[in-house]
Amino acid sequence: MASTQVNPTRMELTRLKKKRITAIRGHKLLKDKRDELMRQYLDLVRENMEVRLRVEKGILSANKNFVIAKAGMSEAALNTALMAPKQEINLEAGEKNVMSVNIPTFEYKTRTADENDIYSYGFAFTSSDLDGAVKSLADILPDMIRLAECEKACQLMAAEIEKTRRRVNALEHVIIPETEKNIKYITMKLDENERSTQIRLMKVKDMMLEEAHGYSQKAEEYEAV
Amino acid sequence: MYKIAVIGDYGSIYGFATLGLSICPVKTREEAKNKLKQLAEGKYGIIYITEAVAAEIKEEIEKYQEQTLPAIIQIPGVSGNTGAGVDGVKKTVEQAVGSDILFSQE
């Protein structure tokens, strides 16, 4: 039985029928949305994992190079060498709409086009290991940007998929069955009411005829004869 | 126009300065919290954060998860890879699919 009381009226019935149509339509649309999101998400998350592993490996080896570079020169000299960076990165952030999820897209521009500007120091007083270390870090930068793009998109899409899945389930297992049950209840109730009225009318008609013609009396007389 | 920032202990992040990223060396939890907040409200599109620091300020990072920008990405520090970044990816798969069907065998 329905958890909430429904009025067995025609108006309510029309309302519920409309609600059912909307719910079914919404359910279908949301299910399509979920499927498409999932398809895109799975592609993206695979790439995300791939890029992440690559970046982590790159950072690990870059860190190793930095440690070696650090060992080869004094702390003060290293700090001085890295104190004033020449290069600067400007990030252009756009938004892409994937199935109503806004995911960021990043594009970066270095301040100067010269790729040697990552070396912010003269080469005279630094060890050559430092050059290698800086270069190895610069090499993984594009991957790092891509990682940020992918990972953020994955996070946002995962949240959206979860939300959509809940909505689909709520519609499928709660809203639609409940509406159908209520529609059935109202139809039954209205039919029952109609039958009841019909019977009452027949009964009244019988009574009125009886009063006008006195059938039962006649029948008794007939039996007596 | 956005910029990129790196948060972490100085030893892990000083190299990024040469590439033109802003580095924010932090030592304590409070410092990291305040820095993250300041950067997220500023003009930073991507914030890289070392796994060690990220583990300390999980709640603050989660706050920004639903926003499009900034993207807060964990990277391994100089002390080694804790696997937190990979776990993060697995967690999103779990959230989306219900269980980790892609990377669980690894």
Residue range of the domain that includes B31: 3-79
| Parallel, antiparallel or unpaired: strands B22-25 and A101-110 | unpaired
Would B20 be classed as within a structural domain?
yes
Residues of chain B neighbouring A104 (CB-CB closer than 8 A): 45, 68-69, 71
Residue A83's pLDDT is what?
76
The answer to whether position B38 is within a domain reads yes
Is residue A132 within 8 A of residue A138, CB to CB? The reply is: no
Q: At what angle do helices A128-170 and A10-72 cross, to 10 degrees?
A: 170
**Domain annotation covers residue B34:** yes
A–B CB contacts, 8 A cutoff, strictly below: 137
Q: What is the pLDDT of residue A157?
A: 93
* Residue bearing the bigger pLDDT, A71 or A184: A184
In this predicted model, which residue has the larger pLDDT, A137 or A35? A35
CATH number given to A24-159: 1.10.287.3240
Q: CA-CA distance, A78 to A168, in Å (whole number)?
A: 58
Give B66's contacts in chain A (Cβ within 8 Å).
156, 159
Contact A89 B3 (CB under 8 A): yes
Burial of A174 (0-12, 13-18, 19+ CB in 10 A): exposed
* A77-91, A190-204, B3-17, B48-62: range with lowest mean pLDDT: A77-91
Percent of chain B predicted with pLDDT > 70: 98
In this predicted model, what pLDDT tens digit does every residue of A86-133 receive, in sequence order? 777 888 888 889 888 888 888 888 777 777 777 777 777 777 888 888
Inform me whether the pLDDT recorded for A3 exceeds 60: no
Rounded to a whole number of angstroms, the distance from the CA of B105 to the nearest CA of chain A is 14
Distance between CA atoms of A153 and A52, rounded to whole angstroms? 14
Residues of A in contact with B92 (CB under 8 A): 45, 154-155, 158
Q: Is residue B104 part of a domain?
A: no
Which residues on B lie below 8 Å from A161 (Cβ)?
95-97
Residue (of A69, A67, A63, A28) closest to A168 by Cα position? A28
pLDDT of residue A32: 95
CATH number of the structural domain spanning residue B42: 3.40.50.10580
Option in A59, A106, A137 nearest B45 (CB): A106
Coil vs helix vs strand at A42: helix
* Closest residue of chain B to A46, computed from CA coordinates: B102
CA separation for the pair A46, A63 (Å, rounded): 26
Q: Residue A160: what pLDDT? A: 93
DSSP A128-196: HHHHHHHHHHHHHHHHHHHHHHHHHHHHHHHHHHHHHHHHHHHIIIIIHHHHHHHHHHHHHHHHHHHHH
Q: Give chain A positions within 8 Å (CB) of B21.
A: 89
- Per DSSP, the three-state class of A127 is coil
Q: Please give the pLDDT value at position B19.
A: 83
Q: What total number of domains does chain B contain?
A: 1
| pLDDT for position B105 | 62
Residue B56 falls within a domain, yes or no?
yes
Cα–Cα distance measured from residue A153 to residue A149, given in angstroms and rounded to the nearest whole number: 6
**Are A104 and B45 within 8 A, CB to CB?**
yes
Please give, rounded to a whole number of angstroms, the shortest distance from the CA of B30 to a CA of chain A.
25
CB-closest option in B14, B68, B80 to A104 = B68
Axis crossing angle, helix A10-72 with helix B84-97, rounded to the nearest 10 = 170
- What is the torsional sign of CA A62, A65, A67, A73? negative
pTM of the model: 0.82
